[in-house]
A and B are shown apart, each in its own frame.
Chain A
Amino acid sequence: MNGTIQAPTIEYALLAPMLVVFGAAIVGVLVEAFAPRYLRSAIHLPLTLLSLAGAFALTVWQALKGVPTKPAAMGAVAVDGPALFIWGTILVLAFVSVMLINDEGHFVAAAAAVPGSAEEEQALYSGAAHTEIYPLVLFAVGGMLLFPASNDLLVAFVALEVMSLPLYLLCGLARRRRLLSQEAAVKYFLLGAFSSAFFLYGTALLYGYAGSIDLARINAALGTVGGQDTLLYLGAGMLGVGLLFKIGAAPFQAWKPDVYQGSPTPITALMASGTLVAAFGALLRVFWVGLGGLDWDWSPVLWGVAILTMVVGAVLAITQTDIKRMLAYSSIAHGGFLLVGVVATGTAAQNTSALSGILFYLVAYGVTTVGAFAVVTMVRDAGGEAWHLSRWAGLGKRSPLLAAVFAFFLLAFAGIPLTSGFFGKYAVFQAAVSGGATPLVIVGVVASAVAAFFYVRIIVLMFFSDPAADGPSVVLPSRGTAAVVGFAALATVVLGVYPEPVLHLAHSAAQSLFVR
């Protein structure tokens, strides 16, 4: 039963990016503990940004030094091409989001205070602020890094939680519309915990089936173990539920609009970009590495899910009257488009093209969505950010530049050529077609036409309709926000006009596929 234990080994160098982020997070907690209040955010911001940048540098260094071909840390973490690419993406997105988060005024002064109570007033006047958000964000980012790189299901589960728990809290910290924010937190928490329980039970069943939680071993067991298919299918299914929930695929998308709307917009940006990237990385790894031998069984299901997700996302988005909810539904739809790429498996070459397509899509979508939410933070009226679409009417007249940028982002979401979104869609769809998923692609095309409708509707609203008398005012963006918007716009243009470098990078990252 219990064999002799021998001391394990850990390749600290490979895990360096994660370790840096987590270390910075812990230091951040120390800062919270010991630094005087007026110094905290002054210390936090550089600390956070530097750690992210450092982690990014380490990732690049890792990639240059040569991608390892076997999992690290006793097979617990797989630092391979896709993982490195995803790390880079997440770190960039996180960096940008942090610049957005840094823009004060998004977060509550005293989360524990009852909204509208005297103590909240007092906290506001005393200039209190929850600088804890920085360590929390760092922890979340660390989880995001670990999640797609986790090579066994336990690590995946822990990473999932490390990623989610801080986000649950961050959701509830919006400065304005406290009730919405708190509800978002509760809903996100309850549903998230629910789904992670499913993930865990799936893990348990697969463990029972294969006698190991190591993805490669599970995959190996698929062939050899017999007679326990119930365990296998139930386990795989529950695992899938957990993962699909995280990416907000239908029919598990219900939480997304509520949470996106309720939580502070910078956090929404982080979730919409970073979490999606991480979750997709993990999804790919689990389904391709862990259940690769089973794809004949799961790909039909994923077909259905993808179709449902695209349709639900696109159709429900039309009925939305709230900009953040609209963006949430659009992110659901984009999740569906990405799923199209996930099912386009086949030969190694085929997988490579599908994987690289997904990777590129993730980059393009992530950057654009951060930019879009950054714009949302800038359009405000008396009650804070103006979410209701009617308030956006005629924005094109009041501040043409901002409206133009936002319209550009929307066009990118819609996948109009010469924007990054187009090449993302193209890459995924092309992979899907060559993977024999043409029907799926046609559905996707129709869905994106429908989706285009509501993106266009907003453009119409902003440019072709006359502004409301007491329309929202566009605040002068802080340097951070301006930089974020600028960066996102620039990236969207560049990826739309000359995507070759990133495409090439994604391709070479996907070349080695996932290590086993």
Chain B
Amino acid sequence: MTTHYLVLSALLFAIGGVGVLVRRNAIVVFMCVELMLNACNLAFVTFARQNGNLDGQVIAFFVMIVAAAEVVIGLAIIVTIFRTRRSASVDDASLLKH
């Protein structure tokens, strides 16, 4: 019965989404995004089982890579700005608001 897994992935995705919207620490926001990606993976694998073909599992691989690349680049960016302003809060990054 794959429904539970779908529900779980939906929950994870929702948690991630909400986290992105409400949390203020860039790194936490970023982790929430990763959480969303993993929720997608779970959904893919579940659907792969449901549809009885392997595509979903293969897709999960690619998603992993993309997620990894995102981690690498994202952390690099966040670390630079962190070194600059000694804080990773999204709110502090407000020079562009006007």
Contacts and interface: CB of A to CB of B under 8 A. Distances in A.
A contacting B, Cβ–Cβ less than 8 Å: yes
Contact of B95 (A168, A179, A200): A179
B23 to A, nearest CB: 11
B76 interface: yes
Contacts of B33: 190, 193-194, 197
B93 interface: yes
Contacts of B70: 161, 165, 193
B96 interface: yes
A254 B55 CA distance: 35
B73 to A, nearest CB: 5
A148 to B, nearest CB: 18
A158 B62 contact: yes
B43 A204 contact: yes
A260 B90 CA distance: 18
B47 A207 contact: yes
B75 to A, nearest CB: 10
A189 B74 contact: yes
A2 interface: yes
Interface string B86-98: 0000100111111
Interface string A154-172: 1001100100010011001
Nearest to A234: B10
B10 to A, nearest CB: 9
A186 B91 CA distance: 12
Interface residues of A, number: 45
B11 to A, nearest CB: 12
B69 A161 contact: yes
A196 B20 CA distance: 13
Interface in A228-256: none
A208 B80 contact: no
Interface string B30-64: 10010011011001101100111111100100110
B1 interface: no
Contact of B84 (A115, A184, A193, A201): A115
A4 to B, nearest CB: 11
A165 B68 CA distance: 11
A114 B76 contact: no
A500 to B, nearest CB: 43
B66 interface: yes
A453 B70 CA distance: 41
A516 interface: no
Given A187-B96, A201-B13, A207-B56, 20 more contacts: A111-B80, A115-B84, A161-B66, A169-B73, A183-B81, A184-B96, A185-B81, A186-B26, A186-B77, A189-B73, A189-B77, A189-B78, A190-B33, A197-B13, A197-B16, A197-B36, A200-B63, A201-B40, A211-B53, A258-B97
20 contacts: A157-B62, A157-B63, A165-B73, A169-B76, A172-B80, A179-B85, A182-B84, A183-B93, A186-B77, A187-B96, A194-B17, A194-B20, A197-B36, A197-B37, A201-B36, A201-B39, A203-B59, A204-B43, A205-B43, A261-B96
Interface of A: 1-2, 111-112, 114-115, 154, 157-158, 161, 165, 168-169, 172, 178-180, 182-187, 189-190, 193-194, 196-197, 200-201, 203-205, 207-208, 211-213, 257-258, 261-262, 321-322
Interface of B: 6, 9, 13, 16-17, 20, 26, 29-30, 33, 36-37, 39-40, 43-44, 46-47, 50-56, 59, 62-63, 66, 69-70, 73-74, 76-78, 80-81, 83-85, 90, 93-98
